[in-house]
Chains A and B, each alone.
Chain A
Amino acid sequence: MASDDIWIIGVSMTKFMRYKDKDLIDLASEAALAALDDAGVTIQDMDILASGNLAEAGGGVGQRIQKQIGQTGIPVYNVANACATGATAFRVVHTAIKAGEASIGLAIGSEQMGKAGMLGAAGRARSDKKEFEPSGRYGGVMGTEGILGTNMMPGTFAQTGMEYAYEHDGVGFEQFAKVAEKNHAHSVLNPLAQYQKAFALDEIMGGEMIAYPNTLLMCCPTGDGAAAAVVVSGERLASMPAEVRKRAIKVSASVLTSDPYVDGCQVQFDVNTLTRRAADQAYAQSGVDPKDLDLVELHDCFATAELCHYDNLRLCEPGGAGEWIDKKGPWRDGEIPVNVSGGLLSKGHPLGATGIANIFEVSTHLRGEAGDRQVEGAKVGLTHVIGLGSACAVHILEKAAS
């Protein structure tokens, strides 16, 4: 345990679902207290707290959590970074510890969405305007959704997948649907997942079409939930009890990227380049090769997105994502199990919680505590989230050597 390494000693998530009797702060507090208990520490021990939440980004969620679990006067960072919000909160704590400003900290991600419906930038209401007057950066006179293409999430990510299909052979509706078949099958073993039901490929392909080629079962649901992690420096960990050290998970890489300029990226968001860059930086930082990975939790907001990320994260041969799903490479008994939690498609996607929930999932496998869904002998795992706009976080986690 090198003293400059950074470790996770406590981690938790609530079940993702739609909660009627709990509010956002209940969920965030529940996750935070569970992570502290898991680490055998208290809020009084924390040097820093970072809280990720999107819907109430201006609402001081971190301080509201403190009002429930402990107002100790430590610095609180309220973080919003699209669907990478939770992972960004984790990185705030990680970076503070790496900088030597803190030796232990708590990262929380939370979101309460309810049944929010489709997300996206629908623009102005089309019927409100009585007199056309050009306004905004594009000199528009009315909302563009449905007239100049689509900016809603299902269609946007459908186009991401279809662009991959344009550039690579062996990719079509069926390959995208197979991603959903896999993740729904995996979810049956995860009691924390919002939905735990397997579906046959023809049920997925024959379901309600939302935005071709994404059918209903190829789109993640909205929901509520929270996740939290306690992070420490190697030096601090060295002074902790043996049972804490034994279950500690090493953060071998922590990377955050934004979308670099590429041709056309301001017309259709590019979710590929920043993911490739984050992955490559994470592999370089950790010295881990993609082939070493025992499991991956990646950002399957839509089935079309997951397929592209096999290639972006270097899990398959370049251009070979279609072939890889065809030969079941990412299934739980395949070459590199991807989204054994059920993924966002089944586990759910409370936006601010997702980035830490992925870290919970991989850490739990590395500790050998994942129950029925345990990937046997898992030693190294990768988490990936992407927020449109765009932000990408990749973490590589490793089991403690001792």
Chain B
Amino acid sequence: MASQIPMVDYLVLDGDSAHLEANECTACGALFFDRRNACAACGKREFRRKRLSNDGLVRTFTIVQRAAPGVPAPFAGAVIDLDGGGKVKANIVGVDPTPENIKLGMPVTLTTFVAGTDDNGIEAVAFGYRPV
């Protein structure tokens, strides 16, 4: 099996239990996916890693039919409200991207897929959410 790396560093592959991790402000609990200088909510500067739930609800979505150059369409982009806190942007996968198949408030769970392979055969693994 080819070796794999996550497409973004807030996706932790961890064998069969892939999940997301965020930087959580130790003072106010605000969650961020990027490298931090300080907290945008309270200004404090200490963070800890927090494992986020793989389950959540579709907070909003769009179905992109005319995509940016080089990006395959259609696809369903969404923002997911994760159980226990955190919001994340990802695609809805596992169903045809149509308004009939995707509903606001629909329960979804995290799944992973290979998004690309480099010249050394390394696979980049991405995540999406499928209806449950």
Contacts and interface: CB of A to CB of B under 8 A. Distances in A.
A148 B89 contact: yes
A209 B104 CA distance: 19
Contacts of B79: 149, 159, 163, 264, 267-268
A140 interface: yes
B57 to A, nearest CB: 9
Contacts of B31: 263
Given A130-B118, A142-B124, A264-B79, A137 B34 contact: yes
B23 to A, nearest CB: 11
Contact of A211 (B64, B86, B91, B116): B64
B67 A146 contact: yes
B90 interface: yes
B40 A144 contact: no
Interface of A: 118, 120, 122, 125-127, 129-132, 134, 137-142, 144-150, 152, 154-155, 158-160, 162-163, 165-166, 173, 208-214, 261, 263-264, 266-268
Size range of the chain B interface in the assembly: 35 or more
A155 B77 contact: yes
Contacts of B71: 122, 126, 145-146
Contacts of A131: 118-120, 122
| From A120, A130, A137, residue with most partner B Cβ within 10 Å | A137
A131 B71 CA distance: 20
A212 B99 contact: yes
Nearest to A159: B60
Secondary structure call for the A interface: loop
Contacts of A261: 30, 40-41
14 contacts: A120-B68, A122-B68, A126-B70, A126-B71, A130-B118, A139-B9, A139-B10, A141-B6, A147-B115, A150-B64, A152-B67, A152-B68, A155-B77, A163-B79
Interface string B1-38: 00001111110000000000000000000111111000
B41 A210 contact: no
A159 B9 contact: no
Contact of B65 (A127, A165, A211): A211
Contacts of A166: 59-60, 104-105
Interface in B61-100: 61-73, 75, 77-79, 86-91, 99
B62 A212 contact: yes
A209 B65 contact: yes
Contact of A144 (B7, B30, B32, B120): B7
B11 to A, nearest CB: 9
A144 B68 contact: no
Contacts of B119: 130-131
